[in-house]
């Protein structure tokens, strides 16, 4: 955690809103409804590092690995070509194993993740999405403590972490309502209903230890990935 | 999943909003309130393939098979005449057997569906509706994992899947609030209350790995089935 | 279910909104708040058939039979004079017996209803209201499956069925939120709060296998029963 | 139930809204928030009969009998002077006995009430309030069935019944949301928040077997009891 | 309960809204959000009596006795100097004892309170706040019956009672939604959000056996306690 | 508690809204959504005392101690340089020990905190955040009583206490809805959504035993910490 330079988000137009990028060793929450581009956002974060030689780990808890790679190709990321990306999870069998592991003993799951991080020498880690992980615990207190243990462990390993989080409403920062308090940064992706269409909008809602832009601005999912337009402010209904 | 052409939705006016149609091997969720035409929509998807020699499987979890065929005739689909459509479910006895199967061991139910898909050589599969399937599981986590297993299995078999989903509110994408995160595409059908009447409106809310139209446009249920008017935008209240 | 003519609703002004009437062998849900005239509506459906020689069965799950007959006389229906109407339920003792029957074994209750339908040779059946029946099951899944079994059985016997359903809000189609998906047609009765009074309004929200009017129009409860004014559109608040 | 004349409500200005008064042998629900005058309303109903020689029974489930009589004196009713009013309930001891009775066996409680009605030869019966009675049952189904049994028994004895019902919101007809479906008539008392003060307003929401005024009109609690102003319409916010 | 004069509220400007003051032997509920001055209000009621030789009992269920006295000094009440005020509760130990007492046997707690009232010869009693008392019972029915027993006992001893009640929203009369039905009078204290500041407002919502002002008026917490401005009406948002 | 001078909040511009500062020996609640700067606010309170030789204890229940110190450096506080600040909690291990302690026996946890306070001779104590502490108790009553015991103990030791509290909505004073009633002062931090950006706003909602400003004013998180602008009023939507 002695690193001083910011970590680029990998999303064009966003870094300037983050005062340069993420602070190394911190955890960001990227939350949004279905169709807001959370997975693309998170993969851009990993891809950006990988292109510059920084190894990244993408843990997908639900999406098929092949489909994921195909989807990402459609938004300009050639994952197989980049050497530095490790993808784990994805197949139903693997997810089922994770479920059992977490439910039996959270520590064993954390140990396994830690081992993967160390072996892959990853400096950037994504968990897509955190909902599926939190769903495995019943009491809210256990969910929260599990999230704390997970992010704490990853940050202590020196990783900069991005968690995607599904939400139900545009202004909500998370699903359960506590995730935003555990992490360092919160970026919300919104599907703003304009009169007769939906428009993508983004806002940096929280950033510990840093100034940040407080505007609500538009973004698009283009063939080259998410692009943020920091000067195109949006007024949500 | 090596197919590259898009799969037509079978709904006039919609394909252009989907950038050509569905991506083969993906799952779409079609959600809407009662009276929005979900069943008609889903059958058009099957019917469209069948007319072109692509076999389809329609799994109805509640509606009587004869009634279903009669209803579809009223919107221009002569199911008995088309050879390539398999319909299963429908009778109370068959549904009761499904219930027992799913509750006893989900895997057995999935195996049976897989067998029907393979025997019927179906490339398009509809489940109408997914609510009844999800209702069989108690914990939200189990509901979600069951949905993942089901869609995962069908997509891996190479099927393009359409799930109908009942909703309570116009802007809601699903019943439980998580279904939209598991699938690849989400299309919402709305009964928009205009001043003194209800109007049908549709929106593509999510489409993984593809650009798509974000407008809210009108559609009608005509004697020739659902017709979408991509240029007639609607402003929901 | 080979009948081809439509079944008149018995409510003046409504048939034209239903494209002629109900489709034989289907189930309609008539939902509304207290004071909206659901019972009168349903009895008009039975009475209309009875006057034309078509036998009808009215199952009341709560209201006293004598009171019901007296109430109906006030809205122009002389039930005792018409020969073809069978009314069951109503007395506390009879309801208590139904409760026990349903809770012990739903099938026994369904068998009893089937027997009454067959013996009375009823072609139109009303259950007023469905809330009391659904209340007897705990899990939502059991409620829904029971409703499916009941309507399925009655429709297969060739009966055209009308279920009344209590609601809490004007735009709601049902109490539990799933009833509208099980039935073929949904008609909602509203008590629209105008500035300083309440006005009756009606809307056909769903009709499987048929075109229908989508307007929200006014109706009145007159000494001659419910009368719908299809041209007097109402704008609910 | 062969009586043909209407029963006066005892509230000045209200009978004309009820098409003359209540239908003998029916049950009315008078619902409203705290401070809306439900108890005064209900006592006026009893007092009106008593002054004209018709015996009345007032069952209070919470309020002290002496306090009740004192409160009523302040709104112009001299209960002790009128011979025909029986008041039961009220003391903590008596309420506690009722609680035990109802919880042990509802039938015993109903028998006791029936005996009091018969011995006192009451033709009008008030239960103030029904909330406390319904609170004693856990399942909604049991609440509803108990209410049905109670009103059914009283109406069969020839009594015209008035139940007061506490509500939380102005437009709500009841506390639990089902009471209005069990009774014959519903009158809601509202505390309408005007700009900077609260105003009393009343509306007849339901009346089985009778036409009725659908306006929302003002009323006042005067030294001579509740007075309704049928021509002073109120627009609730 | 033979007293005929009204009991002053002790709050300047309020008595005229109460038609002179509280009726002896009744119970008033003073409800409001945090920061609305409920404790100050209630102590003024006790202090007003004490200054005129009428003994008062203040039962605080949470606040430290010393802090309470210091707080009250800041709003112009020199409690130690006035002889007739008894304060019980307050210390954590004492509260813990109350908790055990109530949970073990409510009657024992009521007996203890009765004894304190009799020994201190108190004619005015405050419980600040009732929330903590009600929280000790699980079922709503038990909460309500306990409140009835408590107020009933105190009023029968001839005490005029004031209960403070915490609320979450401005227009709410209580926390659980039933307290207002058990008591005789309800006064709500509001923190009305004006454009860019909060303003205190008060309204008498219910007063059994008495006329009362129905306006919503402003009040302030001054160095001399709460002062009500009956002519400064407030329009809550 | 014999101290008479006010305790500075450490936040520029705020003291004048608090009539000079906090009253010694009281407890303030600082509540706000994620990103509102609660931790910074609370540390400024400790830092302000420490710079003036008054020892402070900062109990963090979730955030890593090193990260916390780094974050605070970014807003102008050089914690390591100031001698008088004790920070406990933070590491996952320490938090896990707290959890076990509290769950096993709250008194043991309180004893440990008391010991730390006494040994460190702290006069200012912060708990950041109280949510994590309250989450450990199941029943609302237990949560509330635990909070009372904790604040009571700290105030009796002569400490002036600040608790941070996470909230979900801007106008909410707390998470559970009762915290604001237990403490002496409440300050809410809001993220007010202006048209197309978020703005920080603050309001003093409650202050026992003191006059206070009731405005809603803006504040910023600057490189020198939180700065309140008492004259820049904000109108929340």
C-alpha distance from residue F118 to each of D72, E107, F97, F113, F153 (Å): 62, 41, 20, 9, 12
Beta strands E56-60 and E27-32, pairing class: unpaired
- Measured between alpha carbons, how far is A228 from A218 in angstroms, rounded to an integer? 6
Angle (CA) F235 F182 E194, round 5°: 20
> What's the mean pLDDT in E191-210?
91
**Cβ count near D177 (within 10 Å):** 16
Other CB atoms within a 10 A radius of the CB of residue B81 amount to: 10
Q: By CA distance, what is B134's nearest residue in C?
A: C141
pLDDT digit string (tens) for D91-119?
A: 888 888 888 998 889 999 999 999 999 99
Residue with tokens 């969720």: B29
With 90 as the cut, is the pLDDT of residue B58 above it? yes
**Do the Cβ atoms of C205 and B221 come within 8 Å?**
no
Q: What is the mean pLDDT of chain A?
A: 93
Q: Number of A:B CB contacts under 8 A?
A: 78
Q: Could you tell me the sign of the dihedral formed by the alpha carbons of D74, D78, D84, D86, in that order?
A: positive
Report the distance separating Cα B63 and Cα B78, nearest Å. 17
The nearest CA of chain E is from the CA of F214 a distance in Å of: 5
Q: pTM above the 0.80 mark? A: yes
Please state the φ and ψ torsions of residue B147, each to the nearest 5 degrees: -65, -40
C34 at interface of D, judged by CB pairs closer than 8 A: yes
The two tokens of residue B214 are: 């974000």
Radius of gyration (C-alpha) of chain C in whole angstroms? 17
Q: Averaged over E94-117, what is the pLDDT?
A: 92
pLDDT at F2: 37
**Between chains, do C92 and D148 touch, taking CB under 8 Å as contact?**
yes
User: Among E196, E48, E180, E64, which residue's Cα sits nearest to residue E128?
Assistant: E64
Per-residue pLDDT tens for F34-61? 999 999 999 999 999 999 999 999 999 9
E55-69 pLDDT, tens digit per residue, is 999 999 888 899 999
CA distance F65 to F162: 18
Structure tokens at D148: 């049905």
Residue E4 confidence (pLDDT): 54
Neighbours of chain B (3+ CB pairs under 8 A): A, C
Does residue E237 have a pLDDT over 70? no
Q: Which residues of chain D have pLDDT under 70?
A: 1-4, 237
Band (pLDDT 50/70/90 cuts) for residue A179 is very high
B174 CA: distance to closest CA in chain C (Å): 13
End-to-end alpha-carbon separation of chain C, Å?
Answer: 41
Quick check: F19 pLDDT over 60?
Answer: yes
pLDDT of residue D3: 41
Measured between beta carbons, the chain A residues lying within 8 angstroms of B208 are: 39, 67, 71
Strands F198-207 and F185-193: antiparallel
- pLDDT of E3 > 80? The answer is no
State how far residue A20 is from chain F, nearest Cα, in angstroms: 15
Task: Say yes or no: E188 contacts chain D, CB-CB below 8 A.
Answer: no
pLDDT at F153 over 70: yes
Pairing between β-strand A56-60 and β-strand A85-89 as defined by DSSP bridges: parallel
- Secondary structure of residue F217 in the 3-state scheme: strand
CA-nearest residue to E150 within chain D is D92
Q: Is the predicted pLDDT of residue F237 greater than 80, yes or no?
A: no
Instruction: Report the relative pairing of strands E198-207 and E216-222 from DSSP bridges.
Output: antiparallel
* Alpha carbon distance E59, E120 (integer Å): 13
User: Do residues E133 and E150 make contact, with C-beta atoms less than 8 angstroms apart?
Assistant: yes
Q: How far is CA F59 from CA A127, F79, F121, in A?
A: 30, 14, 14
Q: What is the pLDDT of residues A132-148, one digit of tens each?
A: 899 999 899 999 999 99
C-alpha dihedral (A168, A174, A178, A182), degrees to nearest 10:
170
Nearest to D235 among C136, C195, C198 (CB): C195
Average pLDDT over residues E149-171: 95
- Distance (Å, rounded) from C-alpha F148 to C-alpha C165? 49
The whole-number pLDDT of residue D32 equals: 97
Q: For residue F133, how far is the Cα from the chain centroid?
A: 13
Which residues, in sequence order, are CB contacts of D142 under 8 Å at separation 6+? none
Are C184 and C177 in contact, with CB atoms under 8 Å apart? no
Q: What's the confidence (pLDDT) of residue D237?
A: 63
Which residues pair with residue A197 across a beta bridge? B215
Alpha-carbon distance E93 to nearest alpha carbon in chain F (angstroms): 10
Average pLDDT estimate for B65-71 = 93
- Contacts with B80 (C-beta within 8 Å, 6 or more apart), sequence order: B69
Residue F173 tokens read as 């004073």
* Residue of B30, B32, B33, B35 to mutate, interface with C, max C Cβ within 10 Å: B35
Q: Do D221 and E208 touch (CB under 8 A)?
A: no
Q: Angle at Cα C42 formed by Cα B61 and Cα D165, nearest 5°?
A: 95
- Counting CB pairs under 8 A, whether chains C and D reach 3 or more, is yes
**CB-CB under 8 Å, F221 with A214:** no
Cα(D215)–Cα(F180) distance, integer angstroms? 43
Residue E91 confidence class, pLDDT cut points 50, 70, 90: confident
Taking 70 as the pLDDT cut, the residues of chain C under it are 1-4, 237
For the beta carbon of residue F108, count every other beta carbon within 10 angstroms.
Answer: 12
What does DSSP say about strands D56-60 and D85-89: parallel, antiparallel, or unpaired? Answer: parallel
Q: Count of CB atoms within 10 A of residue A110's CB?
A: 18
Residues from chain B contacting residue A33 (CB–CB below 8 Å) = 173, 180
D24 CB contacts (<8 Å, ≥6 apart)? D1, D3, D4, D5, D6, D7, D158, D160
DSSP secondary structure string for all residues of B94-145: HHHHHHHHHHH-HHHHHHHHHHHHHHHT-SEEEEE-HHHHHTT--SHHHHHH
Residue E80: which residues within 8 A CB-CB, separation 6 or more?
E69
The stretch B46-68 carries a mean pLDDT of: 94
Task: Locate D54 and state its tokens.
Answer: 């018709």
Which of C153, C187, C209, C229 to mutate against chain B (most B CBs within 10 Å)? C209
Cβ(C10)–Cβ(C77) under 8 Å? no
Answer yes or no: is pLDDT of F184 > 60.
Answer: yes
pLDDT tens digits, residue range D39-67? 999 999 999 999 999 999 999 988 899 99
- C181, C192, C237: best to mutate for the B interface, most B CBs within 10 A: C181
Q: Which of A71, A168, A195 sits opposite B209 (nearest CB)?
A: A71
A-chain residue closest to F94, CA distance = A149
Contact with chain B for residue C140, Cβ under 8 A: yes
CB contact under 8 A, E152 and D64: yes
Q: How far is A88 from chain B (nearest CA, A)?
A: 17
Kindly identify which residue of chain E lies nearest to residue F205, measuring between CA atoms.
E35
List all residues 6 or more positions away from C216 whose beta carbon is below 8 Å from its beta carbon.
B193, B196, B197, B198, C190, C201, C202, C203, C233, C234, C235, C236
Neighbouring subunits of A (3+ Cβ pairs under 8 A): B, F
Residues of F in contact with E129 (CB under 8 A): 181
pLDDT band of residue F126 (cuts 50, 70, 90) is very high
CA distance E144 to chain D (A): 9
**Is F209–E64 a contact, with Cβ atoms under 8 angstroms apart?**
no
Cα end-to-end distance, chain D, whole Å: 40
Check: CB of residue B56 under 8 Å from CB of residue B85. Answer: yes
Contact F26, F222 (CB under 8 A): no
Contact of B152 with chain A, judged by CB distance below 8 Å, is answered with yes
CA–CA distances in Å: residue D15 to residues A20, D6, D12, D75: 75, 9, 7, 19
Q: How many CA atoms lie within 13 A of B30 on its CB side?
A: 25
What pLDDT does residue B237 have?
64
User: Does F62 sit within 8 Å of A148, measured CB to CB?
Assistant: yes
Q: What per-residue confidence (pLDDT) applies to D171?
A: 83
* Strands A216-222 vs A198-207: parallel, antiparallel or unpaired: antiparallel
Chain D contact for C197, CB < 8 A? yes
ipTM of the complex: 0.92
Instruction: Nearest by CB to B198, from C184, C210, C214: name it.
Output: C214
Cβ of D95 within 8 Å of Cβ of E145? The answer is yes
Tell me the three state secondary structure of residue A207: strand
- Asked if B207 reaches chain A (Cβ–Cβ under 8 Å), the answer is yes
Residues of C in contact with B73 (CB under 8 A): 209
Q: Tokens in use for D55? A: 């015996």
Asked if D5 and D19 touch (Cβ cutoff 8 Å), the reply is: no
């Amino acid at each position: 955690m002695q690193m001083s330079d910011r970590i680029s988000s990998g999303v064009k137009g966003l870094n300037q809103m983050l005062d340069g990028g993420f602070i190394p060793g911190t955890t960001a929450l990227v939350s949004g409804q279905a169709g807001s581009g959370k997975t693309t956002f998170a993969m851009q974060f990993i891809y950006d590092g990988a292109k510059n030689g920084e190894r990244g780990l993408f843990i997908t808890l639900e999406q098929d690995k092949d489909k994921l790679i195909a989807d990402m190709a459609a938004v300009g990321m050639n994952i197989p070509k980049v050497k530095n990306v490790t993808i784990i999870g994805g197949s139903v069998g693997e997810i089922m194993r994770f479920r059992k592991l977490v439910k039996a003993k959270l520590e064993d799951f954390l140990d396994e993740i830690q081992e993967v991080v160390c072996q892959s020498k990853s400096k950037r880690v994504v968990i897509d999405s955190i909902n599926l992980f939190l769903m495995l615990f019943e009491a809210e207190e256990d969910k929260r403590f599990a999230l704390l243990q997970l992010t704490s462990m990853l940050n202590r390993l020196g990783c900069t972490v991005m968690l995607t989080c599904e939400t139900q409403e545009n202004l909500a920062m998370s699903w359960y309502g506590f995730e935003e308090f555990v992490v360092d940064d919160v970026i919300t992706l919104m599907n703003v209903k304009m009169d007769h269409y939906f428009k993508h909008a983004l806002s940096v809602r929280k950033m510990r230890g840093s100034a940040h832009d407080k505007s609500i601005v538009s973004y698009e999912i283009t063939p080259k990935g998410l692009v943020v337009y920091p000067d195109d402010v949006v007024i949500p209904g």
